[in-house]
Homo-oligomer: A and B are copies of this chain.
Amino acid sequence: MSTIRRTWLPFLNADIPAACDTPIKVAEYELKLGCENLGIKAPALRVDPSMGEGYVLADAAVTGGGTGALYGVYAWLCAKAAGDSLPEGPQKPFWPLRMLDSWDNVDGFVERGYAGRSLWFEGGELRWDGPRIRQLGRMLASAGVNVLSVNNVNVRADAARLIEDKLPDLARLAEAFRPFGVRLMVSIEFSRPLAHGVGTADPLDENVGKWWKERADAVWAAIPDLAGFLVKADSEHRPGPFTYGRSHSEGANMLARAIAPHGGVLVWRAFVYNCRQDWRDTTTDRPKAAYETYAPLDGQFDDNVILQVKNGPFDFQVREPVSPTLYAMPNTRLAVEVQLAQEYTGQQIDIYAMNPMWRELTEALPPERAAAVAAVSNLGRDENYTGHPFAAANLYGYGRWAWDPWVDPRAVLRRWARLTYRLPEAQEDALVELLMNSRAVYEKYTANLGLGWMVNPHDHYGPNPGGYEYDLWGTYHKANRDAVGIDRTANGTGYTLQYPPQIRERYETPEACPDNLKLFFHRLRYDYRMADGRTLIQRLYDDHFEGCAGAEAMAGVLKGLDLPEPDRTEAAQRMEAQIKNAREWRDVLNTFFHRLSGAEDAKGRKIYD
């Protein structure tokens, strides 16, 4: 038997043969294997191409379109394996594009990767382990992810070759994922024509458009179902239209037109800000940047352009308000980008389940506002794919949320836990609660109340309250002996003015603003009274003590779970590191604020000098 980790699909305990080269063949194989293992009668499998990705489930039959039949089979098997009832009525995904963005370099290194090296790149080449890639395809299909962007958005010359001389290899990778309903996407380099004798990359230059059109023709000839191109331009030192005095719609539309005849989408990342800001400059406020760049361009993007906007205006902090850009562009196809890779959220060492966070996003931003979703991948070559075994819940949960943004987070986590571990009921309850609370715990012991950014520069793990304070990245808290935070209201940087009035109202005054974003929007004195009567400084202390105690309590819960090996050992080892991290956060942040404020903890707990 294969030693490949089955993640949340242990009842599908055999590799998928390479001969299963269409979604229907995979569906048939899985249905047989799954029903045998579950000891139940296999339903009929009916294909109705008109249903596309949709399906209908009954005890005796799974009916679905091309990929829909495969999705239906997984949904049917998972429901049965979990002992749940089947969903009623026709099922179809809310978002047609449910993208997973890999930040894999072709040398094999994964930027912000916490699960080992790339699953398909090494030493500049495309190489992969067939059975493991098919297992990944199974995971993605069972979660409903249908687009995989294969390379880092920071595209270096070696990666630019993916759509040039390395294209045949890429086509083979596309072939490997195709039976799972997963289409590839490729990150491209905006200035690439320069490397091919075109003297400019100006998007309005005829030869540039021509070069990209020829390239697109060649790419889609090799991979006819390629989903599209992904571009990071004019961002963190990447080239872009600004070099040529062109707007981002001009840049994006040029590329979009090159690929439109093939049905491809051009995904353009809206991650533009001044990453060389002078900390002395108080007129620039980084969260305002994306709106300022993109909102004026609403309506100017071609139909096959998708503007990919991060969920918050900064960069995947534990807690941010929804990016105002997402409310401001009704005439643009938008994708919301979230991050499974736990860059700022514990790096797959600390437990951090994301579905509760995404559900909040759904509640804050009507999902109809977005045309698609994207998530930065948390995958790597680690035996368990995600570093921490529980981080798989975020991949699974992302797919579920992308299928149905209103899905209940607790139901998703319970389904993942039950499929993965099948623990006794009390233990399953305990694990689900642990996961449900994990983000709140992490938020409490790190930079809470919307502060964010008090991390170690570069590696982004562990506390460093002054780490970015005098740096170039526009992420300042300006804590002094009296107060902390940035006033982002109309009286301050004016960031709140980017929101529609009814949302702005929620943030404009400290009293109206929810506690968990108070220090994102406001500069408050340490003696500011929170709604519950505590001072701000006391709340800062309390949260850090409580968050750390929460992590310690999680360790106790974990010990009581009969997890299989190696998950038990892996989770226990990481838990130990998490507790160390939580204590460091608690003590460093408490000391930092105590040194500034001089305020004693009302409960007399230990704060170091």
Which residues of A are in contact with B by a Cβ distance under 8 Å? 279-280, 282, 463-467, 469-470, 478-482, 584, 587-588, 591-592, 594-598, 608-609
Contact = CB atoms under 8 A, between A and B. Distances in A.
B608 A280 contact: yes
Given A480-B594, A480-B595, A482-B598, 16 more contacts: A280-B587, A282-B609, A463-B470, A464-B466, A466-B466, A466-B467, A466-B469, A470-B584, A470-B591, A478-B595, A478-B609, A479-B595, A480-B598, A480-B609, A481-B598, A595-B596
Contacts of A587: 280
B280 A481 contact: no
Contacts of A597: 481
A354 to B, nearest CB: 28
A588 B463 CA distance: 20
Nearest to A589: B470
A358 to B, nearest CB: 33
Contacts of A481: 481, 595-598
7 contacts: A280-B608, A464-B466, A465-B466, A466-B592, A470-B588, A470-B591, A479-B595
A538 to B, nearest CB: 17
9 pairs of A and B residues whose beta carbons are closest in the complex: A466-B466, A480-B595, A481-B481, A470-B588, A280-B608, A481-B598, A481-B596, A478-B609, A280-B587
Nearest to A458: B458
Contact of A596 (B463, B464, B480): B480
A603 B590 CA distance: 34
Contacts of A482: 598
A592 B478 CA distance: 10
A591 B592 CA distance: 16
Contacts of A595: 478-481, 596
A609 B478 CA distance: 7
A470 B609 CA distance: 11
Contacts of A480: 594-596, 598, 609
A590 to B, nearest CB: 11
A386 B470 CA distance: 30
Nearest to A597: B481
B596 A596 contact: yes
A465 B591 CA distance: 15
Nearest to A479: B595
A587 B280 CA distance: 9
A497 B584 CA distance: 32
Nearest to A466: B466
A466 B481 CA distance: 15
A201 to B, nearest CB: 30
Nearest to A594: B480
A608 B280 CA distance: 6
